[in-house]
Structure 1
Amino acid sequence: MTQLGNPGEFLVTVAIPTYNRREWLERAIDSVLSQGHPEVLVHVFDNASADGTEEFMRGLVSSNPRVRYTRRPENIGWLLNYSGAMRAVDTPWLIGMGDDDWQLPEGIAALLKPLADNPDVGMVIGRTQRLAEGVKVEVYPDDTWKSGRNELHEAIPSWAEHGIVEWQSILISRKAFEEVGGLDHTVGIATDINLELKLLLKYPVFVVPQAVSVYNYHPGQESAKLNVDTIDQFLSIVHLFRRAARESGNPSLKRASKTFNRRWTKVFVNRLPKVARLPGLLRAVKALAIDFRCPGAAAKCAARWVLYKPWCAWKRLSSPRPAPVQS
C-alpha cells in the first residue's frame, strides 16, 4: 500500500475513500481546501482506481502539505476501504466524506466553532443539503432537531424518527470513535447507522443550525442498494438499541427504539417486495415480525410481494414486443 503526504500536526482529517471518480474527487477535495483552514487535512484512500486518480493525487500531494494519499494495491471493496480510511485517521477529529459529495463554503468553520466550549461531545452535527440530479430536494436534519448542545440521549428521539445524518456533515471525536469500537463492517451498508447510534448512546452531541455539506443522490450508490441481506445486518442495531433502552430505564429511549423500528420497517416494506425472492422474503418477514416487533409490517411486506410478482409478469406480457427482423 502506497502512502504519500506530510505527517504534520493537524486537528481534523477529512477522509475521502474513492474509486474511479477522478472528476468528482477533485470537486470534493477542492471544497475542503478552498475553505483555507490550516488545521484541516484531506486524506484520500484510493481503492486501486484506473482513471488517472493516482497521477492527479501525486501531483496534488507534491504541491499541498494539507493533502495525504493512500493507494490500495487492489480493490478491497467500498466498505473495507471506508472503514480502513476511518480507522487510519490519527488527528483528534475526523470527517468521513464520499468522493461524490462536497463541503459548503464555511461549513467546516461551522463544525469547528462549537469545539471551544464543548470539547467533550462525541459529534458535532451539521445539516446537509440533499440533491437529486442537481436539484435540492431537502435540508436535513430539519428544525425538529434541537440546535446547540444536546446532552446524553437527548438527540436520540429525533434521530430515531427522522433518520441518519450524512457523514460529511458530522465532525467525530476520534477518541469517541475508538471507544465505541469504530466502524463495524459486518453490518454492511448500515455501518453508518450503527456508528451514529453507538455515539449517541454514549456522548452528548452538538447540532449546528446551518447546512455544511451537500449529499449527491445519483444512480449506482451503495447506500441505495437495500436488499434482504440489509435487513439481516440491521438486526444487531435493533437489538443494541433495545438493550440500551432497557438497561437505561429511560422511557424516551424506549419510545425512540420503537420509533426506529417502525421507521425502518416502512423502508423495507417499500423496497423488499421488489427485489426479494421467496426464501429471502420469508427471512425478512420473520425478522420484521419477531426482531423488529412489527407484525403488521411483516404482513404488509408479504402481501405486497404476492401482489407485485403477478403485476411484473403481466407487465412483461403486455409490453409491446419488437417487430421481427426481415431477412
Structure 2
Amino acid sequence: MLTVIIPTYRRPSLLQRALLSVISDKDSDIQVHVCDNHSEDGTKEIVANFQEKDKRIFYFENKENIGARANGLLGLSRVDTEQYMVLSDDDFLLPGFLKEAIKTFREHPDVRFVCAPTIHLSLIDKTFSMGCLDWSSGLHPAGVQSARRMHHSHFPTTSVVFHEEVKSRLGEFESGGSDALYMTLAAGRFPFYVLNKPGGVFVAHAGSYTASGSWAREDSMFLYRTMAQTMGLVNALDVPDELKGELSLLVADTYNKIFDSIRVFGYINYEEIKNPLAFSTSSIGAVGVLTRRFPAKIRKSLLQLILFAKKVAEDKALSKNKRNLSENALDSLSGGAMDMADFKALVDSLHLDETRK
C-alpha cells in the first residue's frame, strides 16, 4: 500500500490538478492524504467533490495555520503504509508512475526508494526540460559513489516513492528542509531503483518557494542548528566510517552553498532580479565562493557574473532537452478549473516522448 501526502494551503485550483494526477492511476493500492493547513478558501469543498467519486482520498484540516513544515510533518506522521511519497500541491504526477513504483518494490524487495526523471517546468521563463537524464535506469547500490552522484544530480521528491524504513532511519525531512541533501543521505544509506520514464512535473512559478529566494531568506542561526542536527544524524548512522566521512563532507558542502546564497543577497536587491531562479542554491554554488571576498561596491559586476555562470551551466546541462512551453500547455497551467480530460490534454502538450530523446 502506498500513501500520497499532499500538503496544501490556499491553492485550490493547483490542488485539483495534483489530485487528478494521482487518481488518474486506478491502482487500489494507493491512498491520498490531503493535509489542509487551514485554507478556508473552498479547498475543503473541492476535496469533498473528489471524495464522492474516489474513496481513496482522505482529508485532514488543521484548526489553524501551523506553518508549511509542521503541516508536512503532521501529514507524514499519519502514514501507516509501507510506501509513501510527498507531492506539493503545485506539482503533479505523470500517468503510470505510481503503478510502476509499486511494481518495482514488489520485484525488488530490498529497494528502499524508487525514483524517476522529473520534468522541470518554469512558468517564469515559460520553458520545460527533463532532469536527471545522467542517471541510468535500474538498481543502484547504497554507498559513497551513489551519495556523491545524488549530491551532484538529485531526484526531486516530486518523483520519488519511499519505503517507510527511510523515514524511520533518516527522519521525515532533512533538518533544514533540503530535499537534495535528504536524497543524498538516502542514496548513501539505502539501495534504490531508477525508472526509465519521467514520474512527475516540478513547477516553478512566482509564488513557489524556489522562486521566492528559498534558502537565502532563511535565518542563519536556524541553518547553523539544522546543519549540526544533520551532522549528528550522519554520525549516528549504522554505516562504515568511510561513508560517514563522505556524507559529512557532502552535508558541509550543501550548507556552504546555502550560506553563499545568503551572502549574495547581501550584495543585491532581490526584487530587481527578473529571473529569481538564477539564485537557487544550486546555481549559486558554482560562483558563490566569490561572494566571500567581493565588497558590496561591485555588486552589479557580481550579479552579472552569477547570471552568466548560471546561463553557462544551464546551456551545458539542458540545451539538449530544454523546450519552450506551447500555448496549449500555458493555458492548461493557468490555474483554472480542471477535469480529467483537461489533465490528459496537459500531459499530451508536454510531448514527453520527444523530451526524452
Q: TM-score, normalised by structure 2?
A: 0.68
1:232 matched to which residue of 2? Answer: 224
Shift of 1:168: 2.0
Alpha-carbon distance change, 160 to 299 in structure 1, aligned in 2, over 3 angstroms: closer
C-alpha distance in structure 1 between counterparts of 2:230 and 2:176, whole Å: 14
Q: What aligned pairs does 1:206-285 form with structure 2 within 5 A after superposition? A: 206-223=193-210, 224-227=213-216, 229=219, 231-232=223-224, 235-236=227-228, 239=231, 243=235, 248-250=240-242, 254=245, 258=249, 261-262=252-253, 265-266=256-257, 268-269=259-260, 271-276=261-266
| Runs (5+) with no aligned partner, structure 1 | 1-10, 278-295, 313-327
Alpha-carbon distance change, 107 to 311 in structure 1, aligned in 2, over 3 angstroms: same
2:66 corresponds to 1:95: no
Runs ≥4 in structure 1, deviation > 6 angstroms?
A: 244-247, 296-299
Q: What aligned pairs does 1:71-110 form with structure 2 within 5 A after superposition? A: 71-110=61-100
2:142 corresponds to 1:142: no
Alpha-carbon distance change, 213 to 258 in structure 1, aligned in 2, over 3 angstroms: same
Q: Is the 8 A contact 2:6 2:33 kept in 1?
A: yes
Alpha-carbon distance change, 242 to 127 in structure 1, aligned in 2, over 3 angstroms: same
2:152 to 161, 169, 187: 161
Letter in 2 for 1:226: W
C-alpha distance in structure 2 between counterparts of 1:305 and 1:189, whole Å: 30
Number of aligned residue pairs: give it: 277
Deviations 1:270-305, CA, capped at 9 Å, x for gaps: x3234349xxxxxxxxxxxxxxxxxx9886323335
2:27 corresponds to 1:37: yes
Letter in 1 for 2:76: M
Alpha-carbon distance change, 236 to 308 in structure 1, aligned in 2, over 3 angstroms: farther
2:176 matched to which residue of 1? Answer: 188
Residues 128-137 or 45-54, more deviating: 128-137
C-alpha distance in structure 2 between counterparts of 1:56 and 1:242, whole Å: 42
1:179 matched to which residue of 2? Answer: 169
Shift of 1:106: 1.6
Amino-acid identity (%): 23
Shift of 1:254: 5.0
| Runs (5+) with no aligned partner, structure 2 | 268-285, 303-357
Report the secondary structure of 2:108's partner residue.
Answer: coil
Alpha-carbon distance change, 310 to 152 in structure 1, aligned in 2, over 3 angstroms: closer
Higher relative strand content: 1
